[in-house]
Structure 1
Amino acid sequence: MAERFDVGVVGAGYVGLVTGACMAHIGHTVTCVDKNEGRIENLKRGKLPIYEPQLGEMIARNRKRIRFSTELHPLVREADIVFIAVDTPPGDDGAADLSNVAAVARGIGRSLSEVERERPLIVVNKSTVPVGSGDYVSMLIQEGAEEGPNGEVSYRVVSNPEFLREGSAVYDSLFPDRIVLGAEDREALHTMRELYRPIIEQSFATELDPRPTVAVPFVTTDLASAEMIKYAANAFLATKISFANEIANICERVGADVKSVTAGIGLDHRIGPRFLDAGIGWGGSCFPKDVRALMATAREHEYEPAILAAAVSVNERQRRLVITKLQRDLHTLKGKRVALLGLSFKPNTDDLREAPSLSIARILESRGARVVGYDPVAGKRAAALMPEMKVVFDPYEALKGANAAVLVTEWEELRNLDLERAATLMARPRLLVDGRNAIEPAAARAAGLIYQGFGRE
């Protein structure tokens, strides 16, 4: 039988809440701590600060094993393992801002100096942090301890990067491709393996399918390598998308269909079919931030990451291509009404961080267009971020009187739009720019729309 642990999670945001809920689901006792009192009070009432499928239900089902607090000190006194899961936003130079991580690490150190523990506290970096942050956190814990009554404290620092996809984060936590741990202490790695044993062995009860048929790979390495694995994975996926977009732009010029091309190359097991969808490009809280942070790390060591720089350049160009495609048929954007369909950076989330919709809307507004946005989940957040953009809560209302529409986020309901109804509601020239290549060109044209995709005729 797997050992049960008292687990602390500092940071009740996206990663922290998912981590805490899933730890409780596999049998551990969890306390989630956040300095935002309003957020904690809402969580106690069952109100989540984010939209993430299945997360609310999982917290409700495991309510006896998960609690919420603003107090760090009791957590340090009682927990066997503490995850640091706070935000690490990019600075002006792209490097990760570790001020939130630093504050938590010092706080852990101060609290450790005031309590008596039988075993070392295992402090786990779950936040995405640059290479070398494990040693940095260890230094800050010690600095914090020296501010307290007892400078001699016992702890171990572990790196445990997350690989969660927004919109399927609960599934990714319970059925991961791999679990990566970095530490210099073997006992700490053994404890972390016991923590994750129900997931590694897939021995927990679940209503989610499909469950892996083999044990989840458990990768152990040193701190720096674990930290690099996270950045390298996201940088590779972002580069793969930018590569698909580069091919799409060539396809448009030579008369090829990028859908057929990527389907053909994706059958090569060395390449694979995922992350080869051409279109507007990548956004969100991870890819842009992590690629910039990795580039900043490289430049800090006097190395210019040319491939990563090219991936970023291609991605920025894809968003500008939307404007080019609109101007091709609208000629001028002044006085034109443009509907943006989908505002979150991807389906099944309300996250607007680095969302293509917002940068596209700002360019359109600056050029005199009237922008109307629709999203089934992120509409209210988008309206707060861009009050100059009219946000409606029905896709067909957004399309009414629009000269053009841009499919920005491929929500299922937008993939399945009634195209004939859309054409009837729109004003000439009835242009549809398919930013995700999610709609069949022939069907759109048959409905009376001018169709423009990416890398397609």
Structure 2
Amino acid sequence: MQINIIGSGYVGTTVGACLADLGHEVTTIDIDEEVVAAINAGESPIHEPGLDDLLAEHVGESLSATTSYENLADADVTFLAVQTPSRSDGSIDTGPLLSAAEMTGEALRDATERHLVVVKSTVTPPNVEELRAAVLDGAGSARDYVEVAANPEFQREGSAVEDFLDPQKIVFGTDSDWATERLRAVYAPLVADTGANVVETDPETAMMVKYANNVFLASKISLINELGNVCKEFGIDAYEVADAIGMDDRIGERFLRSGVGWGGSCFPKDTAALIDTARESGYDPELLEAVVSVNDGQPDRMVELLTDHVNVEGRPIAVLGLSFKPGTGDIRNSRAIPVIERLDALGAEVVAYDPVAIDNMRERFPEVTYAEDAADALRDAHGALVVTDWDEFEALDSEFDAMARPVVVDGRHVVERRDGLTYEGLTW
């Protein structure tokens, strides 16, 4: 099939490359000429494991990029994968997505065959009708040839390619059998290869599945963090407790690693958006508000544990890990941000290191000193905070001997206790 992808961010780029890998002819469309040029050169505009290999294999063959909507109608399906960032009140900014939806509709005004526009971007259920109207109004007299569906993504940064090509579920939100059949055709090679579960429902329910999925996981993490904080007060290892309760199949062992909390582009944005939309509808989501409150408090607890041992004012403090999770350079809502802000407010001299995310964090905190490696960050430091669980931090050992005061607060359960090291686990 011929497929368009509007937007070349994390979702659009990975989806486009993966659909090309399934055998489709894919064109990605983006307003950023540098991003388009990078893709056409076989270079990924984002750091995502496995993506470079897919681009190298398919660019120039079944995958290309452009800034033009001119030939959009020639394809069978167009996916909208434009970002919907959070506003300060927690609501999502659908402006860029609505503009792309309208432009997509306008590009279909001369359509003489049916065309499916699929919302891949994350929008709340009430936004679906707004997007549908934008596409159909843009299409004008050709609106009878155009249908809008939803197909939310469930890809994790750092494993987005793997998650797409080996999904736990695929969700189709459509209003007609024709649209369902077209989406089935898009994913047929993947379903045949993996046997993935396919959920077929309406567009609004499909989007609610996306939000419910992420908010449930965020809630599970905040709950285990809350329990971990209580365990810490009792002198109990929260990880030992988690191992035991994870044996209960009603709970499950995944997402029970307590620590400094969740970040990234999905959990914070989707939780805030669902809270905002629920309030707009007249419902006060108290539990979801508590989920956010617990998460926001974990970085402060981490710094407080350090200050129990060290006067940080005027002293170098190492911050290990800047991305919101390992495997990505994304710092959006990284727990390192409030940690650095709190240390800065206390007068510490922050020395930070991350294998991938330094350039991104430097734009946010240009005044911070950035180390060449973990050993460089630890050298002469009066304390260290482990914020991201990169594998290389697990291997640290003698590097701690070079610290002026070997005090480590571990927010991810990756450093082993050892003689000569004052060690504090965040929840253990």
**Normalising by structure 1, what TM-score?**
0.92
Alignment-derived partner of residue 138 in structure 2: 144
Partner of 1:374: 353
Counting aligned pairs with the same residue, the percent is 40
Matches within 5 A, 1:91-240: 91-113=87-109, 115-118=110-113, 120-146=114-140, 150=141, 152-202=143-193, 212=194, 215-240=195-220
Who is 1:14 aligned against? Answer: 10
Q: For residue 206 of structure 1, what is the aligned residue in structure 2?
A: none
1:25 and 1:58 in contact (8 A); partners too:
yes
Q: Over aligned residue pairs, what C-alpha RMSD do you find?
A: 1.1
* CA deviation after TM superposition for structure 1 residue 416, in Å: 1.4
Matched, 1:249 2:214: no
Superposition pairs of residues 45-444 of structure 1, within 5 angstroms: 45-63=41-59, 64-75=61-72, 77-113=73-109, 115-118=110-113, 120-146=114-140, 150=141, 152-202=143-193, 212=194, 215-330=195-310, 332-417=311-396, 419=397, 421-428=398-405, 430-440=406-416, 444=417
Q: Deviation at 1:278?
A: 0.7
SS of alignment partner, residue 125 of structure 2:
coil
TM-score w.r.t. length of structure 2: 0.98
Deviation at 1:224, TM superposition (A): 1.1
Unaligned runs of 5+ in 1: 203-211
Separation in 2, partners of 1:124, 1:415: 42
Cα deviation, 1:46-71, whole Å, max 9, x if unaligned, reads: 22221000001011112210000000
Note the alpha carbon deviations across 1:375-430, whole angstroms, 9 max, x for none.
1111121112210111122110000110111111111111111x2x22321002x1
Question: 2: CA distance between counterparts of 1:217 and 1:351?
Answer: 29
Aligned residues: 427
Distance across 2 between alignment mates of 1:336 and 1:401? 9
Aligned partner letter, 1:177: Q
Q: Residue type matched to 1:334 in 2? A: E
Whether the 8 Å CA contact 2:111–2:145 is kept in 1: the answer is: no
Corresponding residue SS for 1:73: coil
Question: How many Å apart are 1:151 and its aligned residue?
Answer: 5.5
State the 4+ residue runs in structure 1 displaced beyond 6 angstroms. Answer: none
Q: Cα offset for 1:152?
A: 4.5
Cα separation, 2, equivalents of 1:241 and 1:169: 20
Query: Is contact 2:39–2:55 with CA below 8 Å preserved after alignment?
Result: no
What is the rounded CA distance, in whole Å, between the counterparts of 1:407 and 1:363 in structure 2? 15
Q: Secondary structure in 1 aligned to 2:71?
A: helix
Q: Which amino acid aligns with 2:10?
A: Y
Separation in 1, partners of 2:27, 2:142: 26
SS in 2 for 1:382: helix
Residue 455 of structure 1 corresponds to 427
Residue-by-residue CA offset, 1:169-213 (whole Å, 9 max, x unaligned): 1010010000001111111001101110111111xxxxxxxxx5x
Residue 64 of structure 2 aligns with an amino acid whose one-letter code is: R
